[in-house]
């Protein structure tokens, strides 16, 4: 009887040790989920458009023996330029700067004072040449620009974004096929931002030979993105 009890106890001990060191952790195996394969590609979308707005600067510099005389003469001249710009169809006219400073001769002596005033203005591209001519005729002796842009810049950027997503999808399909896989759903999209519009190609100059020629050409609006797809 004693021998039987000892044999049973020994058998239980062996089973307990085997469970402690040899059996797999089934609960842990069930918790571990397989890692999903994915692929990340970049996409670039570009839209071309002819800009329809022009921003320019118009200024007047006036020299007089005294600072007060220079400022007064400059104010009169600038009022004429602003009125001419308004009559020519300029919009969003805004003062950029006003300055007064002495000018000197070779010995460093003050020979008088210079007063300057400059304004910015926006117009349609087709009206830009008329603005330049009108301002110059009114007395503007400082003209810069035009800075060309599109009034629907945000809509153009959205179109570029859509093209970037489409291009990313094409690239991802090629890579997945090369790897013997198929493309799944999009799991993440990161927007890279918009590039500054750049001139692309020139358009015909304005017909009027009497006006300052303004050739707007075309601009490219570019969007970049990064897209992650799951793989099957």
pLDDT reported for residue 137: 94
CATH, domain 38-50+152-231, list 2.60.40.10, 3.30.420.40, 3.40.50.300, 3.30.110.170: 3.30.110.170
- pLDDT value of position 173: 93
CA neighbor of 84 nearest in space, from 147, 142, 132: 132
Q: Is 10 helix (H, G, I), strand (E, B) or coil?
A: helix
Residues 6+ apart with CB under 8 A from 224: 42, 43, 44, 45, 164, 191, 192, 193, 195
Quick check: 197 and 221 in contact, CB under 8 A?
Answer: yes
Res. 178: pLDDT tops 80 = yes
CA-closest candidate to residue 157, choices 130, 197, 190, 118: 197
Q: Tokens 């085997």 map to which residue?
A: 18
pLDDT at 163 over 90: yes
pTM for this structure?
0.62
Mean pLDDT (whole number) for 22-42: 60
According to CATH, the superfamily of the domain at 53-149 is Protein of unknown function (DUF541), domain 2 (3.30.70.2970)
């Amino acid at each position: 009887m004693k021998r039987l009890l000892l044999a049973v106890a020994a058998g239980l001990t062996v089973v307990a040790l085997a469970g402690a060191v040899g059996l797999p952790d089934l609960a842990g195996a069930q918790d571990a989920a397989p890692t999903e394969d994915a692929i990340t590609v970049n996409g670039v979308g570009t839209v071309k458009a002819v800009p329809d707005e022009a921003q320019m600067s118009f200024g007047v510099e006036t020299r007089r023996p005294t600072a007060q005389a220079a400022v007064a003469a400059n104010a009169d001249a600038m009022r004429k330029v602003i009125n001419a710009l308004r009559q020519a169809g300029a919009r969003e006219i805004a003062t950029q700067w006003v300055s007064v400073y002495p000018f000197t001769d070779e010995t460093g002596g003050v020979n008088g004072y210079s007063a300057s005033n400059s304004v910015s203005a926006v117009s349609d591209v087709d009206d830009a040449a008329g603005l330049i001519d009108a301002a110059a005729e009114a007395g503007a002796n400082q003209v810069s620009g035009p800075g060309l842009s599109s009034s629907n810049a945000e809509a153009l950027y959205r179109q570029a974004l859509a093209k970037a997503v489409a291009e990313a999808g094409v690239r991802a399909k090629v890579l997945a096929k090369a790897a013997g896989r198929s493309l799944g759903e999009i799991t993440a999209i990161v927007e890279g931002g918009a590039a500054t519009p750049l001139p692309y190609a020139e358009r015909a100059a304005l017909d009027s030979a009497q006006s300052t020629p303004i050739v707007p050409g075309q601009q490219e609006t570019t969007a970049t993105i990064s897209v992650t797809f799951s793989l099957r």
